[in-house]
Every structure is written in C-alpha cells, then in structure tokens.
Structure 1
Amino acid sequence: MALRVGVIGGGQLARMMVPPAVHLGLEISVLAETEGSSARLAATQVGDYHDVETVLAFARGVDAITFDHEHVPQTVLRALVDAGVEVHPSPEALFVAQDKLVMRERLSALGLPVPDWARLETAADLDAFLADHGGRVVVKTARGGYDGKGVRVVSSSHEVADWFDGLSDPATGGALLAEELVDFRRELAQSVARRPSGEIVAWPVVESIQRDGVCAEVLAPAPRSTGRIADIAEDIARRVATELGVTGVLAVELFETNDDRILINELAMRPHNTGHWSIDGSTTSQFEQHLRAVLDLPLGDTGTHADWSVMVNVLGGPSDGTMANRLPALMADQPGAKVHDYGKEPRPGRKVGHVTTLGDDLDDVVYRARAAAEFFAG
C-alpha cells in the first residue's frame, strides 16, 4: 500500500509537491482553503484548517501531515499529535516560525547571529529602541505577515500607532518586534532538509533579490559565496534545524552585511520560494526532499545540474489571461526555459508562476530567465 501524505494548505507549494509524489509512488491529499486552489491537481477537499474536527477528519488514513504554510493554529496541531498523527514539522518547531518574537528569543538563546532586536509592548519601548539605533528601525508584527506585509521601516512610534492599538487582540501575541535596520549588501538563503531520524542534507546557499518586499529572483549558487560564506550559511541552517527539531525542508533567510557578518532574517519550515530553482537545477528538488523527510525516508542528493540556475518569479500575470495562453510562444522562443504555472488568476503583485533557466554563463542565464518571466507578466 502506498504511503500517503496529507498537506494542509492549497497553495502553489502543495501543488509543486504533486509531481514528486507521483514519481515516488506516494499518495498525496490536500486540505485546501477554497475551491479551485492552486493545488487542485491533487486529491483535494475544501475545509477550514482552524477547525479541529475538520483537520482530524482529513488526517485519518494518512501517514504524515505537513504544510503549505505555517498558519495552522497550535490548538489544531496539538490535537493532531494527541490523536497519534505524525506531524512534520512538529508543533514545537512551527511555533518558532509562527511568532517572530519567539523566533528571536530562541535563536538568541542558541547564540545564533541575529539583528539587534527588542520586544515592544508600548510606544515608549519603541521610542527607546529608536534612540539607541540611529532613529530609524524595522518594526514587525509578531504573528502573520509575509512578502513584505507586517513590516514597516519607521523613525517614529506614531508610524505604527495602529499596530500598538491592536495589541489587545490575543491573536497578535501582545507585542511587536523591533530590529536594527541592517546595513546589508545582499540577501542570501540557505535551505536544508532534515528527517526525524536526524539525517540532514543541504543545497548550495543562494542569493535572493527582493523587490517591494517580495522575492523576485534567485541565483543559485549565490555568486562569490564559495568558502567562508557557504560554510557559515550551511552551519547556521544545520544548527537551526537540529536545535529546533525541524523536520522537512527548512529555509533560513540571511543578510550578508556590509561589515561581513551573516545574520538570520527569517525562517520558513516548509519548501520556500528561494528553493524553487531546485526543481530543475538540483538532482533532488526541495519538494521531493520534503516528502522524503516527512516520511523519514533516506534523503536525496543535492548536487546541481549546471554551474548556474536562476529562478525569476512571474508576478501579477498577463492581462490577457493565464500564463498557459502564452506558453507556446515562449516554448518556440526559449526551449531551454522551464516554466512553472501555478494555475492562478492574474492579480497585481500575485505570484502566478516562475521561470528557471540553467547554464554556465551567469549573465546569459539571468538574461534568459528575466526575459521569459517578463514575457509572461505582460
């Protein structure tokens, strides 16, 4: 009987788990938030992941539960564990990813490199932090927020007065996070995968190029990263995965600062946008590796197929319809470009797909990936 994985969340990450599941002979089921989700290619059912009974019913008959996102409430996660369901990553690990203040506290306690930070419960707390950090800092909501949401660069507590006013809501965690405004030269990301029995593998560290708070491009491996940077990034990610007990894929987003430090920015305990290049550029993609890891199967090789892999997100999508309408023309013009369509309706700023190109000349690979993505974005 085939092993079965249940995925909570019907987004593009769940969608991209489907092909490797088929290749591995696994069965995959998805609990989607809405009809017509990106992951509708899998056996899907629609339900509320906040509802314990809905999630428990979905989990019956699966060998492991994993996630398309980190937003499933702790009460639901604990109920799954109490019912004897294998949950990967665990509730304890996911709690660190769900609350940025908890994340900073745990990483600091482990002696891992993070920006200077503070817990904010009042405007006075922020005023004091601003005074100690040059009058300009980053403020983040502790819970929720992604792709630039829930993040503001401020020079006055008045600029987040609405966030302070909302802290009475228990869902906020009761506090905000302040961080130093890091002077960085570029952003990096290091992905690893860890299985419950402890085996860990790592992909090359990559460079992530952000636009308006959203990942726009990924260069794999990160240029000028051989040696010290690669060693530090991999060591950080391995330590995070081991110390926090993460199972599945872990992406650690990093800052390379202008004074040559490597600092942890964010954690994602699931396949991540910065690892999409691995579908075409690595022997084992992050999606296949995630499935192997959550089922505690031996992990795959993370070698690369070319000197360079470049992934460019397609944001917004074409105004004349879905990406599929433009695919034949791109196939004729760029037969080497690998296109991934998320099956989403176009919307400004929405990630509707990505394009990956490979080769031995970085400038050429970047040019081809950007051209293909721009063609789709319209």
Structure 2
Amino acid sequence: MTLRVGVVGGGQLARMMIAPAVEIGVDLQVLAEQDGMAAQLAASAVGDYRDADTVLEFAKTVDVVTFDHEHVPQPVLRALVDAGVAVHPGPDALQYAQDKLLMRARLDELGMPQPDWAAVSDTAQLQEFLDGHGGRAVVKTPRGGYDGKGVRVVSAATEAEDWFAALAEDARGGRLLVEELVDFRRELSQQVARRPSGQVRAYPVVETIQRDGVCAEVIAPAPHLSAPLSDAAARVGVGIAEGLGVTGMLAVELFETTDDRILVNELAMRPHNSGHWTQDGAMTSQFEQHLRAVLDLPLGDPSPRQEWAVMVNILGGPASGSLDDRLGSVFAAHPAVKVHTYGKDPRSGRKVGHVNAVGDDLDDVAYDARAAASLFQD
C-alpha cells in the first residue's frame, strides 16, 4: 500500500520534497495557494490553509499531514488532531515555532542557553530593558516574522512605537519580544530529525551567512568550530527536539558568541534553508529525512558525502528573462555544481533558487558555488 503524505503549503520546501518522495515511493499531495511552486510539479488541491474545513477535507486523502511553513492557525491544527489526523509536527510543538514569546519561555524551562529577553507591552517597559542592556536591543514581533521581517535593532523605545500602536488596535492585544543585542562571532544552525517513536538524528552544525536579514550562504560543516561547541550545538538541538516533542525536521538557529558560547536565536520545525546543502552533500537529504520522520520510518544517515559543502542562494535572479536562460552558461562554467530552482519569477531580494557545491577543498568549493550563483544575477 502506497504511503501518502499531505503537505500544507505549496512553496519551495514542498516542491523540494517531491523528488525524494518519488524515489522512496511516497505519494505526495500538496494543499497549495493558487500560485504555489509545488503545485507546478505535484498533485495538488488549491485552498486556504487557514480554513479548518478545507484542511480537514484535504487530510482525508492522506495518511499524515505535514507543512512547508509554520503559519497554519492553532485552531485548524487542533481540529485536525481532534479528527484523528496524524499531524507532524503537532500543534503542541508548532506553537513554539509560531510564537517567539512562548518559545523563549519554554526554552528557559528546558534550561537552554538564550539571550536575555523580556516581553514588553509599552515603550516604558522597552526603555527599561534598553537601560539595563547597554542602550541597544533587538525587538521582534512574536508571530509571523522571517528573513529579517518583524525584527528591529533599536536604541530608543520610540523606534517601536508603531508596533505598539498596532498591538493596541488589535483586539487580541499582545506584547513584543525584546532581546539583548548579542555580541556574536557568527551564526550557526543545528538541524535535527525526530520521528514520533523517538529516534533522533543530528546533522553537522553549519555556518550561515546572512545579508540584509536573509540567508545568503551556508557552509557545512561550520569551519573552525571547536569540538566542545559542536557537541554543545548537537545537545541543544536534540534537547529541544525531545523537550518540545518535535516530529520531522527541526532547525535551531544559533549565535556563536565572542566568548565561545552558543545561544539559541530562533526555531523552524520543517526543512530549512540552512539544510539545502544536504540535497547534494549528505547521505540523506533533509527533505527525504523529513518524509521518513513524519511517516515514523527509520531515519537515514545524516553524514556528509564529502568533506565540505557550500550552498549559495540565488537572490533576485536576472533583471530580465528567466533562470532557465542562464543554465547553459552556468553548466558550462561549473559542471560540478548542482542547481535547484523554485519556479518563481525573479524579483529583487527574492529567493528563487540555490546552488550546491561539494568537495575536499573549502576554498575551491566556495568559489564554485559563489561563482555559479553569480551567473544567475545581473
């Protein structure tokens, strides 16, 4: 009997689950927005993921429901569970990826290393935090932010007045999250896979390079990372996966501080940009691993295939034409690089694809990936 996985969300993450699903004989169904990238390649239904009846009807066609984003409302998730649908990750775990205030409070309970933080409901409370943390801090909207959205570095509470005003107009009320401005050396990401029966596998910790709040590059494994910090990152990732009851892929975004500590920045409970290198650089890609995990199948080997892998995002794409127009020149100049496109129209700052390069010399691998990605840009 063919196993059937339903993915809520038709973006590039769902799209990249299709190939491994075909390879292992899984029937992948997608509940997509009308212009969803995955809907171009997979059997799909078009509907609103915020509507419980729509999602419940979709769930009737599959054995398990998973996601390519964390935006499905809790009432919809709870309705699925109440109807007996297998949902991975479930609402009890997803709430911590959906609400950063809940996440911070729960990670404190689990004893995870974090920046100093507070929930603030007005400018007076924010200013008090600023005064106690050197006059600068990071303010975040608790829900909905990604790729630098919903995040501000402020040096005066008045710089968040518009966000407080928006909260005041919202019938639900709410608070902002404020965090200390961490003095960090670089950003890291620890990915972990966990299946419902409890098996856990951790990938090598990687370095992520951000530009304008968006992930631009990933180097796997993170160069020059000490063994104690690498082991600590794995312990944190596994501890969070188990402590929150995550099923599927989990990405724990981390700061490596200038005093040789790691601190948890944010969480994603799905395949993640920091794991795209695994498509060509790991024994088991994050996309196949996610499918195995949500179906409660034995997890695959997360070990690297070669010493180094570098992923470079294609941001924006060509000013005219399509990515397809550039493939010939990219393949001719860099035959060892793997290209992954998302079926998106080019737009400034938009993630429209990525390239992966692997090998035994980091300088050569990084050059190949960067040069190939640059050929898609004007």
Please say if 1:206 is aligned against 2:206: yes
Unaligned 5+ segments in structure 1 are none
CA contact (8 A) 2:205 2:230 kept: yes
Instruction: Report the TM-score, using the length of structure 1 for normalisation.
Output: 0.98
Aligned to 2:176: 176
C-alpha separation in 2, matches of 1:173 and 1:2: 46
CA contact (8 A) 2:278 2:284 kept: yes
Aligned to 1:287: 287
Instruction: Report the TM-score, using the length of structure 2 for normalisation.
Output: 0.98
C-alpha separation in 2, matches of 1:317 and 1:105: 39
CA contact (8 A) 2:284 2:302 kept: yes
C-alpha separation in 2, matches of 1:109 and 1:326: 50
- Structure 1 residue identity aligned to 2:98: Q
Structure 1 segment 189-200 matched on structure 2, within 5 A: 189-200=189-200
C-alpha separation in 2, matches of 1:122 and 1:341: 43
Report how far residue 279 of structure 1 moved: 0.3
Report how far residue 40 of structure 1 moved: 2.2
Please say if 1:127 is aligned against 2:127: yes
Report how far residue 33 of structure 1 moved: 1.4
Structure 1 segment 249-328 matched on structure 2, within 5 A: 249-328=249-328
Give the match's secondary structure for 2:134. coil
CA contact (8 A) 2:30 2:38 kept: no
Which range moves more in the overlay, 171-180 or 363-372? Answer: 171-180
Q: Deviations over 1:49-69 (max 9, x none)?
A: 000111011111211000000
CA RMSD of aligned residues (A): 1.1
CA contact (8 A) 2:188 2:206 kept: yes
CA contact (8 A) 1:310 1:357 kept: yes
Report how far residue 167 of structure 1 moved: 1.0
Aligned to 2:96: 96
C-alpha separation in 1, matches of 2:36 and 2:148: 26
Q: Check 1:338–1:241 CA distance in 2 against 1; reply closer, same or farther (3 A cut).
A: same
Q: Deviations over 1:78-125 (max 9, x none)?
A: 000011100000101000110000000000111100000000111111
Aligned to 2:187: 187
CA contact (8 A) 1:12 1:39 kept: no
C-alpha separation in 2, matches of 1:262 and 1:76: 35
Report how far residue 169 of structure 1 moved: 5.1
Q: Deviations over 1:118-170 (max 9, x none)?
A: 00111111010000001010000011110000000001111110100111355
C-alpha separation in 1, matches of 2:70 and 2:341: 23
- Structure 1 residue identity aligned to 2:270: R
Q: Deviations over 1:331-356 (max 9, x none)?
A: 11111000001010000000000000
Give the match's secondary structure for 2:375. helix
Give the match's secondary structure for 1:113. coil
C-alpha separation in 2, matches of 1:256 and 1:357: 25
C-alpha separation in 1, matches of 2:133 and 2:322: 46
C-alpha separation in 1, matches of 2:305 and 2:39: 27
C-alpha separation in 2, matches of 1:36 and 1:217: 24
C-alpha separation in 2, matches of 1:108 and 1:171: 29
C-alpha separation in 2, matches of 1:35 and 1:55: 18
CA contact (8 A) 2:186 2:255 kept: yes
Aligned to 2:216: 216
- Structure 2 residue identity aligned to 1:365: V
C-alpha separation in 1, matches of 2:242 and 2:161: 38
Identity rate, percent? 66
C-alpha separation in 1, matches of 2:197 and 2:308: 32
Q: Deviations over 1:249-299 (max 9, x none)?
A: 000000000011100000000000000000000010000000000000000
C-alpha separation in 1, matches of 2:140 and 2:297: 37
C-alpha separation in 1, matches of 2:294 and 2:17: 12
Report how far residue 37 of structure 1 moved: 2.9
Report how far residue 173 of structure 1 moved: 6.0
Report how far residue 320 of structure 1 moved: 2.2
Aligned to 1:59: 59
Report how far residue 212 of structure 1 moved: 0.5
Q: Check 1:329–1:141 CA distance in 2 against 1; reply closer, same or farther (3 A cut).
A: same
Aligned to 1:330: 330
Structure 1 segment 110-125 matched on structure 2, within 5 A: 110-125=110-125
Give the match's secondary structure for 2:376. helix
Which range moves more in the overlay, 321-330 or 70-79? Answer: 321-330
Which range moves more in the overlay, 361-370 or 11-20? Answer: 361-370
Q: Check 1:36–1:260 CA distance in 2 against 1; reply closer, same or farther (3 A cut).
A: closer
Please say if 1:348 is aligned against 2:348: yes
C-alpha separation in 2, matches of 1:49 and 1:200: 29
Q: Deviations over 1:214-252 (max 9, x none)?
A: 000000000012511110000000000001000000000
Q: Check 1:194–1:171 CA distance in 2 against 1; reply closer, same or farther (3 A cut).
A: farther
- Structure 1 residue identity aligned to 2:168: S
C-alpha separation in 2, matches of 1:197 and 1:107: 22
